[in-house]
Amino acid sequence: MTRVVAIRPEPGLAATLAAGREAGLAIEGWPLFEIRACPWDPPAPAAIDGVLLGSANALRHGGAALESFKAKPVYAVGETTAEAAHEAGFSVAMAGEGGLQSVLEALAGRELRLLRLAGADRVALAPPEGIVLVARTVYESVALPMPEPLEAALREGALVLVHSAVAVRHLAEQCDAHGVARGTVALAALSPRIAEAAGSGWARVAAAEAPREAALLALARDMCH
């Protein structure tokens, strides 16, 4: 059975491992990143109409300042983030399916000032006319060195799940730095954009049909066979 490896940070790593094992994958995990909170200066709540969320990490690391915005509707990138917002005490107005840009496009025609709570590395957005984004960085993803067990697993051949462009670029850098041949490693990417960021030389690179964990795991099962 093909060895499947997840490298995302906690707590997402544990969730991916549990879902992967339930799906019948021989999956192991070593985080190549750690999520850390960043200090941020919240805008005046009265000037904000809603909160735009691209990750539940913003809720985990946003701190006490989030309390001032719990009366504002949340526009979330997907169901997982929407569920986390609901559990944190927010009211969810929309949960997207194809990324934050598609969420904004669905709001076209409205006059809204949205507080975008995001990580230090984030996708650039082009809001439609009438939508104003007030962005704040509330967390950062800190790259970690490749641990020896992960290096050994990749040398033997593995399929790696990659959840972000930053992750796949860091994986590539670590493979090159440790002399791990990319040709022994296949990649299952959460989206085409992430697959494109992987670069060349891998055994195989494929993207999930939709940017959702279930679709990524389904892709991994197909690639294993």
DSSP string computed for 150-166: HHHHHHH-EEEEE-SHH
Tell me the C-alpha distance between 92 and 100, whole Å: 14
> How many domains does one find in the chain?
2
In this predicted model, what pLDDT tens digit does every residue of 100-152 receive, in sequence order? 999 999 999 999 999 999 999 888 999 999 999 999 999 999 999 999 999 99
117 and 156 together in one domain: no
Indicate the residue among 117, 141, 165 that finishes a domain: 141
Q: Of 194, 193, 139, whose CA–CA distance to 171 is shortest?
A: 194
Indicate the residue among 141, 167, 202 that finishes a domain: 141
18 and 40 together in one domain: no
Question: What backbone torsions phi and psi does residue 33 show, to the nearest 5 degrees?
Answer: -145, 155
Q: pTM of this prediction?
A: 0.80
| DSSP single-letter state for residue 4 | E
52 and 11 together in one domain: no
- CATH code at position 103: 3.40.50.10090
Question: What backbone torsions phi and psi does residue 160 show, to the nearest 5 degrees?
Answer: -105, 130
In this predicted model, what pLDDT tens digit does every residue of 67-97 receive, in sequence order? 999 999 999 999 989 999 999 999 999 999 8
Three-class secondary structure of residue 142 per DSSP: strand
Instruction: Give the domain range for residue 48.
Output: 36-141
